[in-house]
Amino acid sequence: MKVAVVGAGISGLVSAYVLAKSGAEVILYEKQGHLGGHAKTVLVDGSDLDLGFMVFNGVTSPNMMELFQTLEVDMEDSDMSFSVSLDDGHGYEWGTRNGLSSLFSQKKNLLNPRFWNMMFWEVTKFKSDAFRYLSLRINQASTLSFQYFLRITQKTAL
């Protein structure tokens, strides 16, 4: 049996792999110049930067874990965290790894109303705006750019 798989992102690659293992003759089509779709690592200023698919675990991705084990892909345990530092540490700075001590990595922000405003009002508003943007994309069945999102929400790019 001949099968065409369109798209060489993680789903397309897994589909092609499973089909080939079952005996199908697979032709894989990909418009980009690389495999992996959103899963991609690029070199930026001498450091590897992972884009797209980065996090998986046994609870949320058991099939992915099983596939990687079958393919003997090296996996490494890691902690999921996020941090922000603006203006070389002179602006807002916070993280998610160590609870409140990371959230208030700059102790002065405990009493800074602008920081509290940013953390609770702006983050909540951003979430609401992002859901509205996604709804527009789905309802209009079109591709709206991130620049359009910034324009309709009156945000500026960092």
pLDDT of 58-96, one tens digit each? 778 888 889 889 999 888 777 666 666 666 666 666 667
* Contact by Cβ (8 Å): 109, 115: yes
In this structure, is residue 116 part of a structural domain? Answer: yes
- What one-letter code names the amino acid at 17? Y
Of the residues 21, 39, 70, the one at which a domain ends: 70
CB-side neighbour CA atoms (13 Å) of 15? 15
Higher confidence at residue 30 or residue 132? 30
CA angle 53, 67, 65 (to 5 degrees): 60
Per-residue pLDDT for 130 more than 80? no
pTM of the predicted model, to two decimals? 0.50
Q: What integer is the mean pLDDT of 31-51?
A: 79
d(CA 6, CA 8): 7
pLDDT of 98-122, one tens digit each? 777 777 777 787 888 887 887 777 7
147 and 88 inside one domain: yes
Q: What integer is the mean pLDDT of 17-43?
A: 88
In this structure, is residue 27 part of a structural domain? Answer: yes
In this structure, is residue 122 part of a structural domain? Answer: yes
Q: What is the reported pLDDT for 4?
A: 96
In this structure, is residue 41 part of a structural domain? Answer: yes
In this structure, is residue 133 part of a structural domain? Answer: yes
Q: What is the H or E stretch that residue 26 is in?
A: strand 25-29
Per-residue pLDDT for 3 more than 50? yes
Q: Which residues form the domain of 140? A: 83-152
In this structure, is residue 76 part of a structural domain? Answer: no
Q: What is the reported pLDDT for 134?
A: 72
